[in-house]
Chain A
Amino acid sequence: MFDYAGTSALDIARAVADGATTAAAVIEAALGRITRLDPKLNAFTDVTADRARARAAAIDARRAKGESVGALAGVPFAVKNLFDVAGLPTRAGAKINRELPPAERDSPLIERLEAAGAILVGTLNMGEYAYDFTGENVHDGPSRNPHDLDRMTGGSSGGSAGAVAGRLVPLALGSDTNGSIRVPSSLCGVFGLKPTYGRLTRARTFPFVTSFDHLGPFGRSVADLATAYDAMQGPDADDPVCAMRPAEPTTPTLAAGLDGLRIATAGGYFHRGLSPEGHAALATVAAAIGATTVVDWPEAARARAAAYVITCAEGASLHLDRLRTRPHDFDPAVRDRLIAGAMVPASMVMQAQKFRRWYRSRVLAMFETVDAVLLPATPCTAPLIGQQTFTLDGVEMPVRANLGIYTQPISFIGLPVVAVPVPLTPLPIAVQIVAAPWREDVALRIAYALEKMGVAAAPKPAHGSPPT
């Protein structure tokens, strides 16, 4: 019997291409699992069942005619609800946005995955306007961690990580401005890729901080992640930030091993506030790779501070008119942060942007001596839903603002990162593999090696697990 929940995206695609199953059967398995388990996980905000069934029928018809059906044939996927999906308002986690007219056309990343044979099955829960690290949403309810339903998924792409960890879909897309792919990857125990800034088009998605906004995939295996990423690469004139460089496929070198790669860890800032679980995960990964060099990552605390300042000012600018006219329709926690952001003097923002260029030059110089750096992804494993504070290094701090302390200094200058889950018990936690710009291939290659060693894996959850 076909085990949907236990099958990777690539194995699903092979089974569809070989005729061992059909896209229609895969989609029925996916929709059935979503129907049964999403009431617990609250990952989905819309299920596009009719569209998915029609798409599956078209793929099966093409295969029957002997036509190529693509590298992701019949693979169900879902997207954070800030991606445009034709026929749906792009809600971006907000009450206000669901009054928007339905999108007329899909986001290009959806189009590119579907061109490779994948099938969209719905949209996913997220923190309001992506200003969130928890995965909680006052309008749609919190997305829930498949490993413990009382715990948060992390955010803001909470539904994306929850849907993949809960095995509702093998692939999902999310966005990452300051850590919104990597934080939920860590708390839910799945692989996540935040590519280089400008690598994947952001056209027809709802923005947050355009200086730092990235899109990327989640998966339960590195090969799935790399295949989806490769299918989505390439220029797009509809996103002025999207690089005019050709696609650079990563799957051909995935299994190239670690030989010749200089991999280091970083101390200082990236060890402060780190829980014993975070230290254990990092030490396990470093030992498996033999990463004994420790680099001096320059000015990470100041980089995080500068990212924070730019984020609140740019985010406030985006939402200023809505804050004037609809303040009571925001999540109060998001609204009050945005209002504070509107009050930041321009001189502070400009200084942060000047620091950003200086910081970038120093980090790029560091990458002349190493190919990748291993960093923690989150300070701790998943906090409880509704938990307001946690204690890091003996200091009580707000959860919402501090889950991303290790991710913000990286996205601030657009470096590519793969978050690899380390399956600790009872809860997983991830390590970031950070590479130089445009070297996603290096980070994915290391992640693949760790997966093959059994060090990195997306653990099967106790809740929401099969039988299918």
Chain B
Amino acid sequence: MSADDLDTFIAATARALALPVDPAWYPTIGSNVEVTFRLAALVAEFRLPDDAEPAPVFRA
């Protein structure tokens, strides 16, 4: 994401989640979002079968 896109994403998501985010916090939040998305991409690029079960298993 570009810096502008990142700020737009933070502002829109904060509104959707009813989070009162001060724009002064955007740079730190943005750097955390970038790190998390980069690490999530590392996970996502690892191919798993469609029937892979997530770790938590609910039992009725």
Seen from chain A, the residues whose Cβ lies within 8 Å of a Cβ on chain B are 211, 299, 301-302, 304-306, 308-309, 312, 320, 323-324, 327, 332-333, 335-337, 339-344, 348, 350-358, 360, 401, 413
A196, chain B: closest CB distance, angstroms: 15
**Residues A357 and B36 in contact, CB atoms below 8 Å apart:** no
CA distance A440 to B56 in the complex (A): 23
Highest count of chain B CB atoms <10 Å: which of A304, A309, A320, A333: A309
CA distance A100 to B8 in the complex (A): 36
Residues of A within 8 A of B43 (CB): 302, 305-306, 309, 348, 351-352, 355
Chain B interface SS verdict (over half)? helix
List 16 A–B pairs whose Cβ atoms lie within 8 Å, in order of A's numbering.
Answer: A211-B55, A211-B56, A301-B42, A305-B40, A308-B35, A312-B32, A335-B25, A340-B36, A342-B17, A342-B19, A343-B29, A344-B36, A348-B37, A348-B44, A351-B48, A353-B54
In the complex, the chain A residue whose C-beta lies closest to that of B54 is A353
Taking CB atoms and an 8 Å cut-off, the chain B residues in 31-47 that contact chain A are 32-33, 35-37, 39-40, 42-44, 46
A354 and B48 within 8 A (CB): yes
B52 near A358: Cβ-Cβ < 8 Å = yes
Check if A339 sits within 8 Å of B48, measured CB to CB: no
A-contacting residues, B7-39, CB 8 Å: 9-10, 13-14, 17-22, 25, 28-30, 32-33, 35-37, 39
- The distance from the CB of B58 to the nearest CB of chain A, in whole angstroms, is 11
Most chain B Cβ neighbours within 10 Å, of A301, A308, A343: A343
Q: B28: which of A299, A336, A354, A413 is its contact (CB, 8 Å)? A: A336
Counting chain B CB atoms within 10 Å of each CB, the highest count among A342, A350, A354 belongs to A354
Residues of B within 8 A of A320 (CB): 17, 19
Q: CB distance B48 to A343 under 8 Å?
A: no
Contact between chains at B17 and A357 (CB < 8 Å): no
